[in-house]
Amino acid sequence: MNPGFGHFQPQGKLYRWLVLLLAIVVGIPLFACLDAVTIRKWDEGRLVANALEMYANRNFWVTYCFGVPDMWNTKPPLLIWIQVLSLQTFGLTEWALRLPSAVASMLTCILIFRFVERQGKSFLWAALTVLILVTTRGYAGMHVARTADYDALLVLWTTIAGISLWKYCEHNSARNLYITFISMGLAVLTKSAAGLMFGPCMLLYIVFRKQLPALLKSKHFYIGIILFLLIAVPFYLIREHYNPGYIKAVNENEWGGRYLVANEDNGQPWYYYLKHVVERMFVPWFVFVPIGLWFTRKMPATAESRVLQYSALMGLGFFIVASVAKTKLFWYIAPAYPFLAVLCAYGILKLIQALYHPVIKPVFRKAGFVLVALLFLITYVTILVDNGWRKEDATFLNIYNTSNYVRDRFLQQDTLKQIVLHDEKCYPQMILYMRMAERKGYKVWDSRDKKIAPGDYVLTEDPEMEKELHQQYALQKIKEELGARVWLCTAVLKPAE
């Protein structure tokens, strides 16, 4: 056995070069091809609509969608504010809207790397942790690290809060306790009640460390609560002032609704997250979770062992808390991935160390290293392909055809200048492309706002809606590309009611 292998710590220029190389390897899956796919339906489309309307109307307290206060998406607007700043800086693009999520994800990787390296005293453990994180589909794929959704920013705040609480318990540091409460306040300001879902895990760790009585006697605990409230609460009161009824909607949709009731037909069985991580979202890394736990059995009481135990508690504890909730969606488990990555990386590191056992022949040792390298290479290439393969976008659920066509065909030609979009499913993710068209001197109308008339070009993607369209209008198919169809209206057969 080579006992020093796991604690390999490069120095000087070698350390700086290795960190730079690691930053590049980690950054590519997060930042490359951010605009490869069009804006996603549902959550990302709604957030983009909120950001675009705030960018236009400069109302920073009330989010709007379709010109009215948004009472469906009732979450606080910290991410929306950052997206508006990005739009102001970089212009009206998917890249600008998704950049805040990619930056938040990169910061999460930096934080978890520094935490593991400093507390676990192992460069390799830290490097493996972030490599696992950026090759995890549930984190580096759709809806978290690379899309204009809440979850990447939420993961950043919950990771900061989790790390700071560990440091408080380890060093009795008031500063870290304050950071914990501030981060939790920012998490609530990002995604409402979801920012507090690590609470049971944190409380359990404090009890496990026998620090609860001292915490409750500390003035810093109550100052921290005040800091949390000063960050999390004022927005709700201000929004209620400008948008009466907002707090009632939040209470129904966020603070009790989603956890206690299955919202929007998203009720799932208790094993929903387990099924997702095993089948797709945490493949192949979930295999190393029990391995990492196995190696913690007889570890001495050191900072390294406490990092591992805390990561296991936070990752698996959050998994349980999320599984109890009635409303389940695969991205809700994202905050657990940084801590699960710590556990998995330790399991892999210990397996690599085991290759140095005297009974292991050199040829098997080399084969083991090759297998581990291939595992990371395959998962890394897979995540790059998933994030940059544009053809997937044209077929995924068959609901992005019109947005693909408008962005990649309509806005790239010089003949057809106006088109009527007839497909209610495409909202609100089409709003960005409508704004892009306006800036270019083109016009994409919504058939709910403009009645179709002879001479209009109509864009569709849904065969069922096309049947209704043919009952009202005489249509001539002009072209079919990327799954979308363009029709020329030649006559009105039946006036719309």
Q: pLDDT value at position 7?
A: 64
Residue 374 lies in a domain: yes
Q: pLDDT value at position 147?
A: 94
Under the phi-then-psi rule, with left for phi > 0, alpha for psi from -120 to 50, and beta for the rest, what region is 89? alpha
Lowest mean pLDDT among 66-75, 237-246, 258-267: 258-267
Residue 246 lies in a domain: yes
**C-alpha–C-alpha distance, residues 197 and 43, integer Å:** 20
Sequence-ordered alpha helix ranges (H) in 6-71: 12-31, 43-57
Does the pLDDT at position 394 exceed 80?
Answer: no
Does the pLDDT at position 423 exceed 80?
Answer: no
Together in a domain, 416 and 381? no
**C-alpha–C-alpha distance, residues 386 and 32, integer Å:** 11
Together in a domain, 384 and 400? no
Residue 497 lies in a domain: no
Q: pLDDT value at position 5?
A: 55
**Mind listing the pLDDT tens digit for each residue in 193-211?**
899 999 999 999 999 999 9
Position with higher pLDDT, 265 vs 359:
359
Note down the domain range covering 307.
5-388
Query: Is the separation of the CB atoms in 180 and 165 below 8 Å?
Result: yes
CB atoms within 10 A of CB 68: 9
Does the pLDDT at position 462 exceed 90?
Answer: no
Together in a domain, 149 and 66? yes
Query: Is the separation of the CB atoms in 155 and 101 below 8 Å?
Result: no
Stretch 455-461: mean pLDDT, rounded?
93
Q: How confident is the model at residue 267 (pLDDT cuts 50, 70, 90)?
A: low
Together in a domain, 252 and 373? yes
**Mind listing the pLDDT tens digit for each residue in 396-409?**
445 678 888 999 89
Stretch 178-190: mean pLDDT, rounded?
98
* CA 13 to centroid of chain Cα atoms: 34
Residue 309 lies in a domain: yes
**C-alpha–C-alpha distance, residues 367 and 379, integer Å:** 18
Q: How confident is the model at residue 413 (pLDDT cuts 50, 70, 90)?
A: confident
Lowest mean pLDDT among 83-87, 151-155, 384-388, 419-423: 384-388
Q: pLDDT value at position 262?
A: 56
Q: How confident is the model at residue 474 (pLDDT cuts 50, 70, 90)?
A: very high
Answer with the one of 388, 421, 442 that is the final residue of a domain.
388
Q: pLDDT value at position 130?
A: 98
Q: How confident is the model at residue 376 (pLDDT cuts 50, 70, 90)?
A: very high
Together in a domain, 42 and 82? yes
Residue 459 lies in a domain: yes
Together in a domain, 263 and 400? no
The CA angle 188-193-195, to the nearest 5 degrees, is: 50
Residue 425 lies in a domain: yes
Lowest mean pLDDT among 162-166, 246-250, 400-404, 435-439: 400-404
**Mind listing the pLDDT tens digit for each residue in 297-310?**
777 888 888 999 99
Q: Which residue from 412, 414, 388, 410 is spatially nearest to 401, judged by alpha carbons?
A: 410
Stretch 31-46: mean pLDDT, rounded?
88
Does the pLDDT at position 365 exceed 90?
Answer: no
Together in a domain, 275 and 339? yes
Together in a domain, 438 and 341? no
- Looking at the chain, the whole-number percentage of residues with pLDDT higher than 90 is 65
Side by side, which strands form the sheet with 473-481?
A: 443-446, 418-421, 457-460, 484-492, 473-481
Together in a domain, 477 and 382? no
Please report, for residues 283, 290, 352, the alpha-carbon distance to residue 368 in angstroms, rounded to integers and kept in the order given: 19, 19, 7
Answer with the one of 355, 388, 421 that is the final residue of a domain.
388
**C-alpha–C-alpha distance, residues 48 and 94, integer Å:** 9
Q: How confident is the model at residue 6 (pLDDT cuts 50, 70, 90)?
A: low
Q: pLDDT value at position 390?
A: 45
Q: pLDDT value at position 449?
A: 83
Stretch 210-223: mean pLDDT, rounded?
96
Together in a domain, 211 and 284? yes
Q: pLDDT value at position 496?
A: 60
Q: How much of the chain is helix, strand and coil, in % rounded to 5?
A: 65, 5, 25
Q: pLDDT value at position 392?
A: 46
Q: pLDDT value at position 261?
A: 57
Residue 345 lies in a domain: yes
Burial readout 427-454 (b: 16 or more C-beta within 10 A, e: otherwise): bbbbbbbbbbbeeeebebbbbeeeebee
Answer with the one of 388, 414, 430 that is the final residue of a domain.
388
Q: pLDDT value at position 286?
A: 94
Position with higher pLDDT, 429 vs 289:
289
Q: What contacts 225, CB < 8 A, 6 or more positions away?
A: 181
Does the pLDDT at position 96 exceed 90?
Answer: yes
Together in a domain, 339 and 415? no
Q: How confident is the model at residue 391 (pLDDT cuts 50, 70, 90)?
A: very low
What mean pLDDT value characterizes the chain? Answer: 89
Query: Is the separation of the CB atoms in 34 and 98 below 8 Å?
Result: yes
Q: How confident is the model at residue 429 (pLDDT cuts 50, 70, 90)?
A: confident
Does the pLDDT at position 427 exceed 80?
Answer: no
What's the total number of domains in the chain? 2
Together in a domain, 223 and 366? yes
Residue 255 lies in a domain: yes
